Structure 1
């Protein structure tokens, strides 16, 4: 499907060409596994991703090929969320309960695209919206601070190992 086609953009338009244009690769800077519902995340340096289970060791595996097998957020958004809350230090990825933190790549630019992290091939499936627990975790206003900055959900197309430091790049 051409870039922007899901959004009703004419695939031959200048905007569609801009959306489909090149993106500078980013980098994976953090991996978190949620061993059980509401359990504290475990930070790891490497993990396996499979089509069947999503992120191996994460309690939320979704269904094979499901749209929410892996969740991602930008490190840059952790700082922005903190700013919206009046904090000086970035919000911790432990608080937002996303699986992967990336830097140097705009996750919105991955919408409707396939991308690689290490050996794994993922496909962006939508936004990762804040849950009702954000006020509980981040304090009053937490939910609204995360709105529009919650990251991205993805399905696994090809499994493989990912390691902190791996490139995050649009698949050609």
Structure 2
């Protein structure tokens, strides 16, 4: 079962991400203290260390989790991509909204070609259905096949 390998937050857009050991997550709002807290649907972004390793091989250099602008990095496996799929991390229930497309900013922060290396490996954007606390080391359980809008 995958676990939370790292957690990153930024207080505002374009500010550097900082690594933290745990976060408080609010239903319908997102991670307290993160730039997307309170937005409509973009509450939490999740990627996999497995996908980062693939991107690193394509890129030809390490792609650090903290520079990808994603909040949670899972230890391994595939992050659900289909809208409506869900993952549970402790008390927190997240639902996929869409695939997280890598932005051009990655070429500026990681290096030219990083955006392309992360294409189809950038993880997913989730909304928070049930809040709680997420910490590094928490187990992640996937719940596939939930249609959007059904709770």
- Tell me the TM-score normalized by structure 2: 0.87
The reply to whether residue 70 of structure 1 matches residue 44 of structure 2 is yes
Coordinate RMSD, CA, aligned = 1.8
Q: Is the 8 A contact 2:9 2:18 kept in 1?
A: yes
Q: Is the 8 A contact 2:82 2:98 kept in 1?
A: no
Which of 46, 58, 68 is the equivalent residue of 1:96? 68
Structure with higher RCO (Cα < 8 A, 6+ apart): 2
Q: Which has the larger radius of gyration?
A: 1
Question: What is the aligned length?
Answer: 144
Worse overlay, 117-126 or 152-161:
117-126
Consecutive unaligned residues of structure 2, counting only runs of 5 or more, are: 145-151
- Tell me the TM-score normalized by structure 1: 0.77
Specify the SS of the correspondent of 2:80.
helix
Q: Structure 1 residue 62: deviation in Å?
A: 4.5
Q: Is the 8 A contact 2:8 2:66 kept in 1?
A: yes
Moved over 2 A (4+): 108-112
Which of 1, 6, 9 is the equivalent residue of 1:33? 9
Higher helix share: 1
Specify the SS of the correspondent of 1:78.
helix
Q: Which residue of the partner structure matches residue 139 of structure 2?
A: 167
Q: Is the 8 A contact 1:73 1:107 kept in 2?
A: yes
The reply to whether residue 49 of structure 1 matches residue 21 of structure 2 is no
